[in-house]
Every structure is written in C-alpha cells, then in structure tokens.
Amino acid sequence: MARLQGKYALITGGTGGIGLETARQFLAEGATVAITGRSEAALSAAGRELGDRALLLQSDAGDIAGQRVLAQQLARHWPRLDVLYANAGDVTHRPLQDWDEAAYDQLMGVNLKGPFFLLQALLPLLANPASVILCGSVSAHIGLPQSSAYAASKAGLLSLARTLSGELWERGIRVNGLSPGPTETAALGKLGLPPEEEAALRDQIRKLVPIGRLGTPLELAKAAVFLASDESSYVVGTELQVDGGVGNL
C-alpha cells in the first residue's frame, strides 16, 4: 500500500522498539523518513536495517538547543515536513523517595519539554495539512506504582495534543496523542530498577492488561500509520489508546 506516498515524516527515538518499527511501516507506505537517536552506533545499526531510504540524524530529545539544530538540518534536506512522530522517551520508573531534581528534570526534558520546543522549531517547516503524533502512555490514566514522574510527563504531552490542536488547526496541523499500553520492547529493561524489582514490575504490568498479553511494536506502528495518513484527517486533538484495554476496562 502507499498511504503515506509523497509524505516527509520525522520519527524521534527511531533506533529501536516502536520507533524503529514505525520507520519500517512508514517506508513501506511510501513515506520519505528521517529518524533520530542519541547514539551514533544505534543510528548506524538502524540505518543498516532501514537502508539508504532513511535519513539518520543524531539528536538528544532532551537538548532544547538541539531541537532547533534538528529543525535546521531537516530544512536543508527536505522542502517540508508532513508528519512528526515525537516518540523519543525516558521511561525511568522509581519510588517517590528515590527521585532527585536532576533525574526529574532529565525525564521531563526528554518527555515533555523537548517535544514542545521541537514542535516550535519545526513550525516553519510543517506543511498544510500536517499530522503531529505525540507519544503518550496509558500510564497517564492509571495509578501504576513507581510511574509518578513518567506518567505526569505523558499526561502533560497528551494535554498538548488538545491545546496545540486548538492553536494550530487553522494552519492545517493536526496534533494527536498515541498512547501505548505495556509493549514488548527493550525499553522495559531500561527502567532503572534492580533486577528483582524489574522482574516483579514486569509481572505486575502484564497482569494489568485485560487481554492477558503485552502489545507489539507492530501494533503501535500500524496505529501511527493511521494517524499519519489522510485516513485520519477528521481525527484532531484526541488520544488513540493502543493498550489491550488497560485504560478503559
């Protein structure tokens, strides 16, 4: 199929998991794709998998000045931007008493502040029409222990999907949230927890899912294709939950 034929799409955090699978699906649907990542090695590995059709841009989603640099790089390569998928995220989970200001600021910088200023920097490049997809999380809707800072950052991002849609719709820019539930990716091993606590949390998370399993990156990527495509042209300022029923059942 070619639901994204002729579209230019940027995916932040595209070197693994949901982001990398979304890059695969966007390319399969005809898009011209750029991905970002902090690690040069991870970008190179993703590039080998995606081939020369993908533009690889090293960028830290929490570096605010770097968001302006990223926008300038894209403007040099592309005539416009049709799709932004702000997927990069810090998934750190820890008990309230274990947070310090530096770790909190790092998480908020990547998950909320970074996407806000990236979108600001990309405004001159965004086409009319354009689709912006902000990666939320079902954690914003539930009371999962140790998710306090993470869930708050995602709740803020989902709020931006509404408020920025209200601000930008006259420019033809749709902003929507895409909220994964528990998904089988390497990110589950990067929560910053001791091994025994991570294993216990994994089991707890799996039990949260009414349908009894974790999601897959492909299931999230297919939802991102829909939100990026013209098929979702009447979907504005809302949230698509792909979570196995966690947030609603």
For the CA atoms of the chain, what is the radius of gyration?
Answer: 17
Q: CA 90 to CA 151: how far, in whole Å?
A: 11
Catalytic residues, by residue number, are 150
Tell me the C-alpha distance between 217 and 195, whole Å. Answer: 23
Total residue length of the chain = 249
The runs of H, that is alpha helices, within 78-147 are: 101-108, 114-122
* Residues 167-198 as b or e (16 or more Cβ within 10 Å = b): ebeeeebbbbbbbbbbbebebbeebebeeeeb
**Is the separation of the CB atoms in 122 and 115 below 8 Å?**
no
Residue 9 to residue 131: CA distance in whole angstroms: 9
